[in-house]
Amino acid sequence: MSVIERFIQSPSEWLRVHVAHILQSSVTSGTLYSCTHRDPITGSPVSCDRCPPGTYLRSQCSSERKSDCAKCPHGSFTEVWNHIGRCLRCGVCSHNQVVKTLCTADRDCQCQCKPGYYYKPQYDMCLPHSACPPGQGVRAKGTPDEDTVCQTCSDGTFSEVSSAHHNCTEHKSCSGAGLGLALRGSSWHDNVCANCRDLKDQKLQRVDSQLKTECRGNEVEMVDAPK
């Protein structure tokens, strides 16, 4: 990307990088807090103080007066020692971003992705947190900087929804009076419990790969499925 394109897309960021480069040169040459220009009256070189962060140069120094610095007005800032004639305008957060830190006289605002979104450096934008599909639960919830981390539900647990917030849940127990396991739970659905009345009414007549349900008296039991 060219310098012009960078300036058009993000003038405030481009200017900060450009100023930082100049300041690095200033530190090397020992001119971080001062600069040299010609006196408007005598034409002789004169060393002038730079203005500290949070201020700008209202009027230059001369051989008879010092630099006149003024505080940045509301909505503007300077982050470095400078001799610019006006402060930089505070930045504006992009789409799907919120303000993390407000703009002050000596620091631009800091933005982060709004709740439910995370920053994707490859695209330079905020994207929605990924939802874990059925059969997987959330191992780590997404943050403004990281996407959701999913994991497969372990034995005895399940998740039947697609969600960026829910973890796997333990299968319910069918140990209640008169209840039995009609369908064994998996990673994507819960155990299905039934009583003999449900089975006789054929509401929950289900068979899995290894077991089937049978009524013995008023109790539901699991027996080996016929081969």
Q: Residue 11's pLDDT is what? A: 46
SS3 165: coil
How confident is the model at residue 222, as a pLDDT? 53
pLDDT at 209 over 60: no
- Which pLDDT score is estimated for 6? 37
Query: Could you say which of 2.10.50.10, 3.40.190.10, 1.10.10.10, 3.30.365.10 is the CATH number of the domain covering 3-89?
Result: 2.10.50.10
Is the pLDDT reported for residue 204 higher than 80? no
Phi, psi of 92 (to 5 degrees): -125, 130
Q: Which two tokens stand for residue 53?
A: 């962060």
The radius of gyration of the chain from alpha carbons, rounded to an integer in Å, stands at 34
- Contacts of the segment 118-122: beta carbons below 8 A, 24+ positions apart: 118/142, 118/143, 118/144, 118/145, 118/146, 118/147, 119/144, 119/145
Q: What are the sequence ranges of the domains in the chain? A: 3-89, 180-224
Question: Across all residues in the chain, what is the average pLDDT?
Answer: 80
CA distance 152 to 170: 13
Q: pLDDT by residue (tens digit) across 81-115?
A: 999 999 999 999 999 999 999 999 999 999 999 99
The DSSP code for 50 is P
Write down the residue that tokens 């010092």 correspond to: 66
